[in-house]
Every structure is written in C-alpha cells, then in structure tokens.
Amino acid sequence: MTRIAIAGAAGRMGRNLVVACSEADDLELTQALEREQSPALGSDTGLLAGQAPNNVLIHDRLDSTTFDILIDFTHPSATTNHIDYCVEHGKKMVIGTTGCDTTLEQKMQSAGQSIAILYAPNMSVGVNLCLELLRTAATVLGDSVDIEVIEAHHRHKVDAPSGTALKMGQVIAETLGRNLDECAVYGREGQTGARDRQTIGFESIRAGDIVGDHTVMFADEGERIEITHKASSRMTFARGAMRACRWIEQQQKGVFSMQDILKTR
C-alpha cells in the first residue's frame, strides 16, 4: 500500500484528492497538510470532503515517517518549500501546482537528480491527449494560420493564463520552432494594429464556478480548426493524480510528465 500525503487538503482541489484517494484500493491517505493558522487545522479530511470520518486530521507540517508520496496542488511558494522537504527526506512528489515560474521549474529539475517528481499543470488524461493533437495540428498547419488559446476558469483562480493554457502554447511554439516568451500576446486592447501571424494569442476568462475550459483555435481565411477540452469536475484531475502516484512510485529519480505515463511520446 502506497502512503499518500496531500498538501492543501482543505481546498477545492484538496478535497477532491481526498475523495479520489479513498476510492483507490492501492493508495492510503496518511497525512493532510494546510498552511499555518488555517481554520481547517485539526479537521477530519473525510468530513471536509463530504465523506465518513477517516481519522486523518489536517496538520501544518509534514511527518516524513508516515508518507511515501506528497501530492501538491498548492501555490508556488508552498511547493518550493515542499520540494526542499522531500529532497531532504527522500520522498517522491506529484505536483499539479500552476503558476510555476522558470526558477521553480529549474528547482524541480535539480530535485529530480535525487527524487522522483511528476509535474503536470493539468493531470487530466483528456488534456494530455489534446497536447498531442496540438502537436499534430501545428505540424500540419505550420505558419499558415493564426493561433489563439482561450481559457476559462472559476472566479477564485489567482493566476492567468492558466498553467494548462501556457503548456498548450509551449507545445505549439516548440513544434513551430518559436520561443513562447517572444511570441506570446496576452490579451488585446486599443489600437493594436494588424495581427502578426508569428504570435500566439492568449485570452483568459474568470467567472462563476467554471472548472476549466480550454480551446486552441487555428484560424485561416475561410476555415478554422478548434481543439477544445472542457472539465466539468475536479475529480478528473484528482483521479489523474492518483494514476500519477501509481506511476511515480515505480521511478527512482527524475522529473516526468503525464505524457510519460500515457506514453504519447
């Protein structure tokens, strides 16, 4: 039985992770973590997730003796600290935190020299299939189309564009031999002039309780192709994280992605 710790266990995603872990016969939730002074400290994670009590209470610090893999869907600052802890204690990680900058991604790569990490801004099998479809579309269509990435999330999401949207843009840019840092355009306003076909546009919507919608548009004159993924439940991501735990348990060290699990590359 693989022992699982969940960071941010009282949050929207954390509660779904608790449920997904309870559904798994081969995974056991043994630790739950929240920030210091969180009102959820001391709470039973089963009750918080709308289930029967499971006697796994929320604490504000990890105990390395009682978990094998840490699942982290929190905030870049918290994830940074959790990586340091897991490297020090030789624990594996599944990271779904979004809004990670280059510095944090480099930290993951460094940590991967001693522990196994699976990092994916989106754990959905469907989204990761879409990434492969985007590679194919970009290869076939090349520079003959305008490319726009449109994403929508709930009103509480704090980063924009979403990590998934940025990953989609990165996949397309790499396929076309572009540097996303140089060609990305984030929103438009005022007299912007004619569109540069070498750019990749991003638009972000924040409204209501939208779980996560992503559409990539490849538009030419006379036709356009749209590749869309819509998530209606966070359990999609939570179950993907459980799949990631099973896979990363078999790895000794390195940084991996969902594509490695799905063998799409």
- Read off the pLDDT of residues 1-23 as tens digits, 9 standing for 90 and up: 999 999 999 999 999 999 999 99
Distance CA 87, CA 250 (A): 17
CA dihedral over 109, 114, 119, 125, signed as positive or negative: positive
How many residues are present in the chain? 265
User: Is 75 a known active-site residue?
Assistant: no
Q: Start-end ranges of CATH 3.30.360.10 in the chain?
A: 125-231
Q: What is residue 241's predicted lDDT score, i.e. its pLDDT?
A: 96
CATH architecture of 2-119+234-262: 3-Layer(aba) Sandwich (3.40)
Catalytic option among 59, 89, 154, 157: 157
Catalytic option among 153, 167, 214, 229: 153
Distance CA 85, CA 31 (A): 15
CATH architecture of 125-231: 2-Layer Sandwich (3.30)
Count Cα neighbours of 256 within 13 Å in the Cβ-side half-sphere: 27
Q: What is the CA radius of gyration of the chain?
A: 19
What is the SS3 assignment for the chain?
CEEEEEECCCCHHHHHHHHHHHHCCCEEEEEEECCCCCCCCCCEHHHHCCCCCCCCEEECCCCHHHCCEEEECCCHHHHHHHHHHHHHHCCEEEECCCCCCHHHHHHHHHHCCCCEEEECCCCCHHHHHHHHHHHHHHHHHCCCCEEEEEEEECCCCCCCCCHHHHHHHHHHHHHHCCCHHHHEEECCCCCCCCCCCCCEEEEEEECCCCCEEEEEEEEECCEEEEEEEEECCCHHHHHHHHHHHHHHCCCCCEEECHHHHHCCC
Q: Start-end ranges of CATH 3.40.50.720 in the chain?
A: 2-119+234-262
pTM: 0.82
User: Is 157 a known active-site residue?
Assistant: yes
Residue 142 structure tokens: 């090349």
Integer angstrom CA distances of residue 88 from 15, 81, 265:
27, 11, 31
pLDDT in tens, the chain (265 residues): 999 999 999 999 999 999 999 999 999 999 999 999 999 999 999 999 999 999 999 999 999 999 999 999 999 999 999 999 999 999 999 999 988 999 999 999 999 999 999 999 889 989 989 999 999 999 999 999 999 999 999 999 999 999 999 999 999 999 999 999 999 999 999 999 999 999 999 999 999 999 999 999 999 999 999 999 999 999 999 999 999 999 999 999 999 999 898 875 5
